[in-house]
Every structure is written in structure tokens, then in C-alpha cells.
């Protein structure tokens, strides 16, 4: 989930298991959500997106679930691999092109 301050929440997952990264968003008027992956020292990389009129969307090895009732978004990664190790950000689109980013969750893969 999201946190305040310098210390990111960390999720540790065994290689091969599924990962679930959670995000609580702030604005009930947000109509579009995106997940980004950021590896150390690099820019964020787009993973998957979803509109507010959808509950679920699947990509390659990833699924995003949206629960508008509780303003909650999750990213599921199937069969987690060492290359999935990164910080994952959720972002919400409130109006126009403006996107608000969450503070991120660090995914750590255990061998």
C-alpha cells in the first residue's frame, strides 16, 4: 500500500509465487488509473491501465483490479521473476492529462 515519508512499504515474494501490490487512491472523481514499474536509477515504465468503468484488466502476466467502492486498486503479477524486482507506482488521472502518483511499493524477490 501507500505510505508517507522516506521508507517505502516493501513486499517480499518468493520467486515463482504471485505478487499482489495494493494502492488506495484519493479522489472518487478519478476516471483512469495506471500502474508503473521503476527499476533503480531508471524512469518509470508503463505496465497496465484501467478505466473507472472497468473492474479488471489483464495483460501479459499482470492483472489490475479496481474496487471503486473502497477506492482501491491492485496489481497482480503472476509467477514473479527476479526481473520483477522494482518499485511499483499506481497513478490516478483526475482531470485532463494531470496524473497524481502514489509513493510506491518496493517488490523484493526472494530466491
- Write out the residues near another protein by the rule CB under 8 A: 5-8, 32, 34, 36, 41-46, 49-51, 89, 93, 97-99, 101-104
3-class SS letters over 63-93: EEEEECCCCEEEEEECCCCHHHCEEEEEEEE
CB of 40 to another protein, least distance (A): 11
Report the Cα–Cα distance between both ends of the chain, in Å, rounded.
23
Distance in angstroms (rounded) separating the CA atoms of residues 76 and 30? 21
Nearer to another protein, 3 or 67 (CB): 3
Nearer to another protein, 6 or 70 (CB): 6
CB of 92 to another protein, least distance (A): 11
Tell me if 57 sits within 8 A of 63, measured CB to CB: yes
CB of 38 to another protein, least distance (A): 9
Amino acid at each position: 500500500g501507500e505510505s508517507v515519508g522516506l521508507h517505502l512499504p516493501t513486499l517480499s515474494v518468493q520467486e515463482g509465487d504471485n505478487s499482489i501490490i495494493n494502492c488506495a487512491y484519493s479522489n472518487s472523481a478519478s476516471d483512469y488509473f495506471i500502474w508503473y514499474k521503476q527499476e533503480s536509477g531508471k524512469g518509470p515504465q508503463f505496465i497496465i491501465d484501467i478505466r473507472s468503468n472497468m473492474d479488471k484488466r489483464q495483460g501479459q502476466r499482470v492483472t489490475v483490479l479496481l474496487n471503486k467502492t473502497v477506492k482501491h486498486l491492485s496489481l497482480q503479477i503472476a509467477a514473479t521473476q527476479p526481473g520483477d524486482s522494482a518499485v511499483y507506482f499506481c497513478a490516478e488521472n483526475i482531470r485532463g492529462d494531470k496524473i497524481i502518483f502514489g509513493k510506491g511499493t518496493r517488490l523484493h524477490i526472494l530466491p
